[in-house]
Chain A
Amino acid sequence: MTPVEETINSHTIAVLVDNEPGVLARVIGLFAGRGYNIESLTVAEVSQDEKLSRITIVTSGTPMIVAQIKAQLGRLVPVHKVSDLTLDGPSVERELALVKVAGTGEKRVESLRIADIFRARVLDSTNESFVFEIIGDTGKLNAFVDLMKPLGLVDVSRTGVVAIARGAGSLEDQKN
């Protein structure tokens, strides 16, 4: 038998599904029922004509587990396509966060300065608070949130990762 690779890696998986009632419950139920991790999950309709939704899941596991996750997703009846964006060629990933920071004086100025460095936008401002909008990969968002902590971080709301393959091909054309 080939030696079992035990390294646990994070994978971003894109799933194209029929946008029908219960489809998200099926996907989440699969992860819960079989003990897989969900690190992040986003879902929204992407084609109104065909009633398709795209789910992006960030999960982690050994190569054998991740292959299992893909196979299990693939056998759900309303699933059209499963792609492991981490493995199937280059892809881009983005996440959006809304970050509320409250403070006055030097801390307030400092938070604005850092936001500028990170190219975060100010969406809302009062005399003692900002709401920043920041877009980037997960690492950048984590770094930004960490820097805001000592400056009066109040609330964070994040979308979770969305991802797409680079190049001209679509998810549906891709070979499984």
Chain B
Amino acid sequence: MANDLMMGSHILMTALKDQGVTEIFGYPGGAVLPLYDAMHEQNAIRHILVRQEGGAVHAAEGYARSTGKVGVVLVTSGPGATNAVTGLTDAMMDSIPLVCITGQVPTHLIGNDAFQECDTTGITRPCTKHNYLVKDVNDLARVVHEAFYVASTGRPGPVVIDLPKDVAMGLGLYSTPDKFKHKSYNPQIKGDAKAIKQAVALLAGAKKPIFYCGGGVINSGPKASALLTQLVRSTGYPCTLTLMGLGAYPASDPQFLGMLGMHGTYEANLAMHDCDVMICVGARFDDRITGVISKFSPNSKKIHIDIDPSSINKNVRVDIPIIGDVANVLEDMLKVWKSSQAKPDQKALKAWWKQIDEWRAKDCLKFVQKGKIIKPQYAIQRLYEATKNLDDVYITTEVGQHQMWAAQFYGFEKPNHWMTSGGLGTMGYGLPAAVGTQIAHPDALVIDIAGEASILMNIQEMSTIAQYHLPVKVFIINNRYMGMVRQWQELLHGGRYAESYMESLPDFKMLAESFGGVGMVCDKPEDLDGMIDEMLKTDKSVIADVRVEQLESCYPMIPSGAAHNEMLLGPKDEADRPISEEGMVLV
């Protein structure tokens, strides 16, 4: 059949099948009808019908992040494509491999302001790793294979294929995805041996070292996390993870200092500030991590491992850059570390750990659960306690306070089990991401830790959950506020809570029931464990509405414009140290 002419839509389906695609998240429309027709005629690929295209992209992100595979999205032209833009940008920021196929009006109508036409490649150019407009059906198979290669190679990211309807209906030749060398895009995988030697020597001589690791470790595959754990353990050095990196190193390990950054732990941030050697593995010195750059870890030598050369020296100047794939570089590093029989200065290291333990003793995540109102931290802590010994638990989140509390209070032992919107901070990410995760892992426990504001941004996906009988659990930390907005208004705007109160919330219990799920409400601390048990026992989808303390703020916090060692540990610090005007203009 190699030389048989095929219809474009069949070429697309065959190419997807040959790329190992088994699930697509999508929504039909005029321009993609031929594609849906071809989909209808085959059984290899299952289509998951979402309720809005934005949901399709987040679902594919959850699918991709929890499996390591490329997530696939199919949407129509015009509004289908523009609705996908937020998800594409989210995937771009968090380096999630996606291939998004968008329908387009027939080639002869492109540029005519046709019905449901938009300049998809123009709109998505800055928010995709790459995009294609396929004008010739004979290019289609190659473009699809190339798109999968680009999405998953190097620093992963979203790729858009814009497919005009006449191309999808035209006749052309198929080509198989044979191993090909991309003519221009061939990222460096192996780290420079000399730089790796230098890095190991610097690490071995450190007196106050720290591992600072991020989502790049997860993107590099489970092997990278295993190697990282080995290396950290053989050095005996402390390790902190970014929001995107949670799970790359076991949370229960004594060498783990918790998450760092704006809402990271006191010990992690102070260790970052005071260290003399920092090794950054697959993280990018984001502003949520560094605080004010001029005061960021002022006395350290820095090693940076990243597959993306543009991440090196972007925000923070580093001393030893190593460009390469994290797993590949860590493997080499571990070899050099072992063969050089590196012996860290045990006395210095002991003093360093003693200092870290003093910071730890501050118990920065401490909260007091007393009285009749549930503390949000307590809710997440109890959820963690109830689920931590279960086999396969995947947590997704929306964006805001609940997200930070989940990152602080839920411990991740393995990579790919934590799905959250880090770079873009997309409210409404968690529910569709849970859909994608549950589709990929039908028997696993998938929980969306949500806020009552965020969940309403993509609440329509409850209908998808109903259609596919997905037992997704939505655990709403309900404080009747856009909590993080309210917290910033309290901190920076004199407590003028403009538009951050959530009026007219739905009855979440009834809402769950209306979609065929189970609704639960809990507003007493003593009922919480019982409700969580009941939720976990239910094999249907659940929305658990946990009514929590309204005005609780998320601490610790590095306020805008401050350094790591200027953290606020609680409301009292906040009163003592008003935010500078300079800090106020930062986000």
Contact = CB atoms under 8 A, between A and B. Distances in A.
A26 interface: yes
A1 B298 contact: yes
B184 A25 contact: no
Contacts of B184: 17-18, 77-80
B317 A71 contact: no
A75 interface: yes
Nearest to A81: B184
Interface string B114-141: 0000000110011001110100000000
Contacts of B183: 18, 80
Contacts of A22: 121-122, 125, 131, 133
B185 A71 contact: no
Interface in B173-194: 183-185
B313 A68 contact: yes
B314 interface: yes
Contacts of A68: 310, 313-314
Contact of B310 (A64, A74, A77): A74
Interface in B320-373: none
B98 interface: no
Contact of A64 (B185, B298, B313): B313
A119 B125 CA distance: 44
Contacts of A75: 154-155, 308-310
B218 interface: no
Nearest to B131: A22
Contacts of A72: 310
B185 A74 contact: no
A2 B317 contact: yes
A68 B313 CA distance: 7
Interface string A60-93: 0000100110011011111110000000000000
Contacts of A79: 184
A33 interface: yes
Main secondary structure of the interface of B (DSSP, over half): loop
A26 to B, nearest CB: 6
Contacts of A64: 313, 317
A152 B130 CA distance: 49
Contacts of A18: 183-184
Contacts of A25: 122, 125
Nearest to B185: A77
B548 interface: no
B312 interface: yes
A34 B97 CA distance: 23
Nearest to A74: B309
B96 interface: no
B150 interface: yes
A68 B309 CA distance: 9
A76 B312 CA distance: 16
A150 interface: no
A71 B310 contact: yes
Interface string A123-165: 0000000000000000000000000000000000000000000
Interface in A20-57: 21-22, 25-26, 29, 33
A24 to B, nearest CB: 11
A25 to B, nearest CB: 6
Given A22-B121, A71-B310, A77 B126 contact: no
A4 interface: yes
B298 A77 contact: no
Contacts of B125: 22, 25-26, 29
Contacts of A33: 126
B510 to A, nearest CB: 45
Residue among A2, A4, A74 having the largest count of chain B Cβ atoms under 10 Å: A74
Interface string B274-316: 0000000000000000000000001000000000111011100
21 contacts: A1-B317, A2-B319, A22-B125, A25-B122, A25-B125, A26-B125, A29-B125, A29-B126, A33-B126, A64-B313, A68-B313, A68-B314, A71-B310, A74-B310, A75-B309, A76-B130, A77-B129, A77-B150, A77-B184, A78-B130, A79-B184
Closest 10 CB pairs of A and B: A71-B310, A77-B130, A71-B309, A80-B184, A77-B185, A72-B310, A33-B126, A75-B310, A29-B126, A77-B150
Given A1-B298, A77-B185, 19 more contacts: A18-B183, A22-B122, A22-B125, A22-B133, A25-B125, A64-B313, A64-B317, A67-B313, A68-B310, A68-B313, A75-B155, A75-B308, A75-B309, A75-B310, A76-B130, A77-B130, A77-B150, A77-B184, A80-B184
Interface of A: 1-2, 4, 17-18, 21-22, 25-26, 29, 33, 64, 67-68, 71-72, 74-80
Interface of B: 121-122, 125-126, 129-131, 133, 150, 154-155, 183-185, 298, 308-310, 312-314, 317, 319
